Every structure is written in structure tokens, then in C-alpha cells.
Structure 1
Amino acid sequence: MLFVSLITLFYSTQVFASYCKMEDTLFSVGNYTCPDNYTMVTRIKGFYCLKVVASTLNQTQSEQSCMLENSTLASFENIDEVNLVLELSLVATNNANGYCWIGATRLAACHGPISDFNAGCLPVETNTFRWTDGFVTGTDAFSNFYPGQPDGGSGVAQNCIGMISTSSSWIGMTPGSFDDTQCGSTLASSHVCGQPAQQVALNCSSSCC
């Protein structure tokens, strides 16, 4: 748990410093906070909160689990967020191997084997999926698919993405890489929930006031 605390402290410190510096500009962002056990990251759209939960739920069940705490399966704005969630997932699962469900699903127009994809689904690495948490700008993190993925499955629907959560190698893939897989897969070890950070009244005993 010390590792998670250090991660949280680092991101919180970075965010605190950001809004202290911005307070006297035209873009004062005030004071934002995350729920307990969430880690704050900075996105183009604002501050966002991430939490990894150890579970063997499928993708649909994981989404429902996140919704119980006003979150949704989290998407990724960049590779830094991928690396952070990988570390958090290894801590949460005690280094168990498995998929970490993330907030991405295959576009309806891109269902089926790659051989049937239309031109709008190519290249498959970046154009077959969409982020679902509504708080991501761009598709940079889709570059993190393992080589040869997404492959659309071999006669089965692979319309969700599992991030490979492992400290070494699992099913032959690199830790943190993406794999398109069945949404009902039972090979998960965790899922990542996310929600926008909440703004609260600035505590004027702080160094920002």
C-alpha cells in the first residue's frame, strides 16, 4: 500500500501545484478532489479520478460495478495513464495475471473479422474502437495494442479491450499492452473505474490563498 500512497501523493502534489500556479490567471481551476482510494490525473478536459478494483467480473459486470459508485469504466488519455493503471492493478491484485477491463468498445461498424472491415475501420489499431468514459481527448493510447492486435477474433466477437495486467508476461503479451477480447471473458483480474474530479471550496489556509 506504500507504493499506491506514493503514487497518489505524487499526482496530488502535481495537481495541487498546477492549480496554485493558475489561480491568478484567467483559468483559475480552484480546488478539485477525488473520492477515497482514487488517484487524480490531469487531462485536457480537466482533472480525472482513477481507481483499480481487483475482481474476476466480465466487462459488463465491471461497468455495473463502477456505476455503483458514480463512476464508469475508465478510458486512457495517454500512455502515462496506462502505466499508472498497470501499477495500480498489480498492487490491487497482488500481482495476479489477467485482463484489466478498461473503458473502450469496438465500433458497431467494425464488428466481425478484420477481413470484413470497411475502409473506415482501418488501420485497425486506432480506428476500430472508441473510448467510453466521455472525458478523453484523442486516441493516442490506442497505439498501445500488442503487435498483431486487435485481430477481431477467430469466429468469436472480440468487442472489448483488456489491458494485460501482469508483472512479467501473460498469454504471451507485454505488461500494459492491449488485447481485443470477448466482453464476457472470465480471464479478468481487475477493472479500472473513473470519474471527473469534483470541485470544492478552496481552503484558504493553504499556500494558494
Structure 2
Amino acid sequence: MLKFYLIMLILIFLETSIPYKMVLIYGTPEDVTMNPSPLTMDFDACVEYCYGLSACMMVSHAIGTQNCIAYEIGQVSTVRETDSGGSNKVAIKMNGTETAQCPLTAEENSMKFGAETANYTYREFDITVSNSLWTFTPVPACPKNFTMVTRPKGQWCIGVVPAKACITQKQGSSMCTKSYGNSILSGVENFEEYGLIQDLAQPHLTDLPSGAAGRSTVGFWINGDRKPICTGVNKTASCNGTNEFTFSDPTLSLNPTGYIWGVDQPSGTLAKDSLCVHYGFNSTTKQSIGVDDYSCTVSSTNGTCFIGYICGFRPS
């Protein structure tokens, strides 16, 4: 087991009741993506500063100086451990363990660190040690306003995103991709996700855009494109419900069960323009009325305004 030199151990309990500790070693940061401006303070003050700052993940301090560098989450990915006679000390923040004793090996620590960041409600890192190299690897997570779900094909981030006006499916799809990078309109995997979306949408149903005034229904665009063979034809076994559509959501199952269709929906097999899908709500009761097929190029009708979209992407 890799031995490392502990100078002191500090345990603190935050409001979240998660104990943190600062593990101190001789070493120097490597693979630094951003060099913060040095702070003028001794080593003890440097360590105290870091554990008091939620986003701080480690500090580096040249022995015998007042030069303290505090690294926040994402600014450094590795630390090279050196012998106890080295000229630089590093204090690494990690989640605490049940014991307050100073362990003699890295493996006796939690080797994890997590905290809230500007973009994430909670961001966690795995800490590994190999050949004197400490590596910080981010655990896949979803940013704020998105919820992670686990599907048979992998993890997926889902977010309900409101628009400032009634929008078409093409506009919603474009907004999703441009706003969140490698993202697309999300599908609905199962009944649990259907319920999750209903819950996530509630805050956006109380402050509707002006275009939704007087309309009984509002909707959010979701993933789904009508198959050409199911356009302008009578319903058949192969064109009856969810199987009338193809899906580009990469983690959606072949036969997703989360498309809970509204009364008599989908109804567009005989129509030639009901090619897209939205998740609908009663604008008065705020309750879901099921998913429905609709024209991709329509932003509103006399009774409906499409007020946003359900965006999805893989966690990173």
C-alpha cells in the first residue's frame, strides 16, 4: 500500500451533515487547467481557508513562504506526491470517514470529494492514487435544473426548459442543442419518467408566456418523429400508438413505455402534418393530459401554446 505523510487532520461538519477532512501530503499539483492568483498566508491559514470554502478542493503551499494557492473544483486533475523532505505541501479536501484518526494509507480515507458548484447542485470526484500520482476524476453528473435518470441503455439527464413565447418543435429542438451542447429533445422511457416530467414542469406552469393567455392547453416538445409509413394511413398493428414514431434519443429503449397518450391519441395517422410529439398540460389545473402528436411547424393554435421543450443529454 502506498504510504503518505499526514501532517494533520481536520474534520468539519457542514450544514449538510457531511463531514470533510483535509488530507495533507508533500507534493506538487500537475495537470493544472487554471492557475488561481496566490494568496498571502501561512500554511495553516491556507488549509483553513480551503475547508471553509465549499468549492475549494485543495491547496498548494511552498514550505517556508506565505504563498498559498487554492484550487477550486475542476482547476487541477492530478497531484504528484513527493518524499517528506519535499519543498511543497498540498492539502486535499475529501469526504470524511467514521473515524477521526489519521490513517496511514490513502485507501483508509474516503477518497471522494463532493460539493456544490456554480453549474451543478452537487459535483462529486473520485480520488485515486497510483505510483505516487493522485488523480481527481469527476463522477458523471447533471447540471442544475436537470435530473439524472438511469435507463437500461445508460444514464440520462432530463430537464424541462420553458420558452419566452410559444415555439415550434424545430425551435425547441434547436434551443435544446444550442443551449446544452451535445443534447437533443428527450424521450420518455417509462411511467416513472412520465411522472418525473410532470413534477419538473410544475414551476413553469405558474408563469406562462403571454402567448399562452386564454389557451386551455400548453405543451412541451419531446422526442419523436412520425414514421413515413404511418403517415396518411389507417391504423394498423404496426401503426398504433408509440410504434407510429421513431426516436433519436440514444438511451431510449426500442419500445419505450413512457409515452402515455392522451384520450384518442395519437390521432394523426390520417393527417399528413402531425409528425411531432409534445407533452401536454391543462393550463388551468396544471395536470398532465398525456402526450399528443402535432404539427412540427405550429407554435400555437386557438387552444394550445407550446411553451417549451424537454431536453436531454448524457451526464458528464
| TM-score of the two chains, using structure 1 as the length reference | 0.69
| 1:171-190 equivalent positions in 2, closer than 5 A | 175-186=288-299, 187-190=305-308
For 2:292 and 2:141, the matched residues in 1 are separated by 32
1:131 Cα deviation from its structure 2 partner: 2.3
SS of the equivalent of 1:75 reads coil
* Number of equivalent positions: 164
One-letter code aligned to 2:173: E
2:256 counterpart of 1:139: yes
Task: Please report how far the alpha carbon of residue 72 of structure 1 lies from its aligned counterpart in structure 2 after TM superposition.
Answer: 0.6
Counterpart residue type for residue 188 of structure 2:
F
- Structure 2 residue aligned with 1:195: 313
Structure possessing the higher relative contact order (Cα contacts under 8 Å, 6 or more residues apart): 1
Q: Distance between the aligned counterparts of 1:53 and 1:105, measured in 2?
A: 20
Confirm whether residue 47 of structure 1 aligns to residue 47 of structure 2.
no
RMSD: 2.6
Shift of 1:37: 2.1
Unaligned runs of 5+ in 1: 1-11, 17-29, 199-209
Unaligned runs of 5+ in 2: 1-120, 125-137, 209-216, 300-304
Q: For the Cα contact (< 8 Å) 1:83–1:176, is it kept in 2?
A: no
Identity %: 27
Query: Could you tell me which residue of structure 1 aligns to residue 143 of structure 2?
Result: 35
Kindly indicate whether the alpha-carbon contact (under 8 Å) linking 1:89 and 1:190 is maintained by their aligned counterparts in 2. no
Q: With structure 2 as the length reference, what TM-score do the two structures score?
A: 0.47
1:1-209 correspondence to structure 2 within 5 Å: 31-55=139-163, 56-68=166-178, 69-70=180-181, 71-94=183-206, 96=208, 97-112=217-232, 114-115=233-234, 120-121=238-239, 124-137=240-253, 138-142=255-259, 144-152=260-268, 155-166=271-282, 175-186=288-299, 187-198=305-316
> How far 1:165 moved relative to its partner?
2.5
Distance in 1, Cα, partners of 2:227 & 2:151 = 24
Bigger Cα Rg: 2
Instruction: Extract structure 1 runs of 4+ deviating beyond 6 A.
Output: none
Shift in Å, 1:166: 3.4
Residues 68-77 or 125-134, more deviating: 125-134
Give the corresponding residue for 2:91. Answer: none
**For residues 110 and 154 of structure 1, what CA distance do their matches in structure 2 show?**
8
